[in-house]
Amino acid sequence: MSELPDYVIKNREHWDKHADSWVAMGERAWNRNPSWGMWGVPESELQLLPVDMSGMDAIELGCGTAYISAWLIRRGARVVGMDNSERQLATARRLATEHGVDLELIHGNAEVVPKPDESFDFAVSEYGVAIWSDPFKWVPEAHRLLKPGGELVMLGNHPLVMCVQDFTSDAPATFTLMEPYFGMGRIDWDDGDDQGTNFNMPVSDWFKLWGDVGFDILAYHELQSPESGDEVSFFVTKDWAHRYPSEQVWKVRKR
Ligand SMILES: C[S@@+](CC[C@H](N)C(=O)[O-])C[C@H]1O[C@@H](n2cnc3c(N)ncnc32)[C@H](O)[C@@H]1O
């Protein structure tokens, strides 16, 4: 096995340490209909998933507790979930057993997936490799794994949010521009208690990467929080995300 990059080791420590905090959310999500991101935007609005996935092979890259894998299985797909944290996979494994579903789970860095070329019809990452891995590694890897015509959905932080955060504290996103937008790439954060590495880049760079790697863009969404409803305990307030996009979604197809 090739050596893990430093940020994969650091992010593994982060997720193994925090996996327990994600169990309850994972359990709820396994039981609900598909809805996306921090604000729970319904699938009926975004239409990210094929309605009937019978006979399709799908992979979730950075699956965590694997609730999206569960949604894909319910639509008829055979699914592989890969994650960098053994503790997150332990929850996924338990939930798969409790729900009586067949789900292949792989532990490792999903920038390098131990599956042959063109193994999958569909790939998805919601806050998995989509934000925790280097897009110049995981996007070409997703392309390799997909059959021609296969679709990839990724959801993660909107790059604008990365410009209004203090990466040395766990305070929520501010209304002040603090970090440059252009040149954004690897983001190492350390709030005193915790460290991790995320990746993001300007929207124009995402457009370029999809095209250069060999994907056609089917849809791009900037998600907004609803006007009413409860606050969520993430790093963006509901008010912030009602005024500015906190999340982006790309749906792309392999040429
Ligand atoms: C926020 S969870 C995503 C799962 C789920 N959609 C959610 O939002 O809870 C992030 C997951 O990405 C995983 N992850 C981070 N870097 C990864 C990598 N390089 N390869 C595979 N998984 C990775 C973490 O271990 C963690 O379980």
Domain CATH number, residue 77: 3.40.50.150
Average pLDDT along the chain = 96
pLDDT at 1 exceeding the cut of 60: no
Q: Which residues contact 125 (CB under 8 A, 6 or more apart)?
A: 60, 61, 62, 110, 138, 142, 153, 154, 155, 156
Q: In a 10 Å sphere around its CB, with 0-12 CB exposed, 13-18 middle and 19+ buried, how is residue 33 labelled?
A: exposed
Tally the domains of the chain. 1
Does residue 193 lie in a domain region? Answer: no
Ligand 1 close to Cβ of residue 88 (< 6 A) = yes
Question: Cα–Cα distance between 78 and 137 in angstroms, integer?
Answer: 25
pLDDT of residue 40: 94
For 221-242, how does the pLDDT look when each residue is reduced to its tens digit (9 = 90+)? 999 999 887 777 788 999 999 9
Q: Are 73 and 101 in contact (CB under 8 A)?
A: yes
Q: In a 10 Å sphere around its CB, with 0-12 CB exposed, 13-18 middle and 19+ buried, how is residue 249 labelled?
A: buried
Ligand 1 centroid–CA 117 distance in Å is: 22
Ligand 1 close to Cβ of residue 81 (< 6 A) = no
pTM (global) more than 0.95 = yes
Characterize the bridge pairing of strands 120-126 and 146-157: parallel
Does residue 80 lie in a domain region? Answer: yes
Does residue 172 lie in a domain region? Answer: no
Q: In a 10 Å sphere around its CB, with 0-12 CB exposed, 13-18 middle and 19+ buried, how is residue 114 labelled?
A: exposed
Ligand 1 close to Cβ of residue 71 (< 6 A) = no
Ligand 1 close to Cβ of residue 110 (< 6 A) = yes
pLDDT at 243 exceeding the cut of 90: yes
Ligand 1 centroid–CA 114 distance in Å is: 17
Domain span at 114: 6-157+199-234+249-254
